[in-house]
Structure 1
Amino acid sequence: MLMFPGMTALDLVGPQAILAGLAGDRLHLVARQVGPVPSDTGLSLVADTSFDACPRDIDVLFVPGGDATPGQMRDEATLAFLRDRAAHASWVTSVCTGSLVLGAAGLLDGYRATSHWSVRETVLPRLGAIPVNRRVVVDRNRITAAGISAGLDFALVLAARLRGEEYARTSQLVAEYAPEPPFSAGTPDSAGPDITARAAAILKDLADGSLAAAMPHRNR
Structure 2
Amino acid sequence: MELTQIIRDSLLKAVSYETYRNLIDKYEAEGTTSGEEQTEERVQYTALNQKRYKRLDKTISIAPEQADCIINFPKSICLLVITESWCGDAAQILPVVHKIAELNPKITMKLVFRDENELLMNQFLTNGGKAIPVVLFLDLEDKVLARWGSRPSVATQMVEAEKAKNGKLTPEFKEELQKWYNQDKGMTIVNDFVKILEDIKKK
TM-score in terms of structure 2 length:
0.30
Q: Which has the higher contact order (CA 8 A, sep 6+)?
A: 2
More helix, by proportion: 2
